[in-house]
Amino acid sequence: MARAKQTPFMPSGYSDWPIRRCIAEAVNVCRYSPWKAHEWMEEARNRISMQYPFYDDYDNAVDIINRTWRSFEKYQWYDAREFWKRGNVSSPAQYLKRIDEDFS
């Protein structure tokens, strides 16, 4: 009788993204989910330290995300109330802050 091949152990479950991946995914998701981008950038910001000094990557991503959100205002299809809605509550636009803005 044929035997099934033994498969090596494959870990499954929650996998934590590296800081750079979290930042890159936040830049990607900012186009359609501003609150998810806020959440992921906050997660990346909380994990940045002297061991993981990605301050420039974070600040560059903040600039890109904020520029993207500001650029939407010139399009006809853009509805600020709908875009910044969280659940059923519409909020005003909340742009991200760079790390160096907290210390000035």
Task: Delimit the domains of the chain by residue range.
Answer: 19-101
Position 51 scores a pLDDT of: 86
Residue 5 is predicted with a pLDDT of 65
pLDDT in tens, 1-57: 566 666 665 555 556 788 999 999 999 999 999 999 999 999 999 999 888 889 999
DSSP state string for 20-38: HHHHHHHHHHTTT-HHHHH
CA pair distance 56, 72, nearest whole angstrom: 25
pLDDT one-digit tens code per residue, 52-103: 889 999 999 999 999 999 999 999 999 999 999 988 998 999 999 999 876 6
* 5 backbone φψ class: left, alpha, beta (φ>0; ψ -120 to 50): beta
3-state secondary structure 41-101: HHHHHHHCCCCCCCHHHHHHHHHHHHHHHHHHHHCCCCCHHHHCEECCEECCCCCCCCHHH
pTM here? 0.81
The residue assigned the tokens 């969280």 is 86
pLDDT of residue 49: 87
Question: Would you say residue 104 has pLDDT above 90?
Answer: no
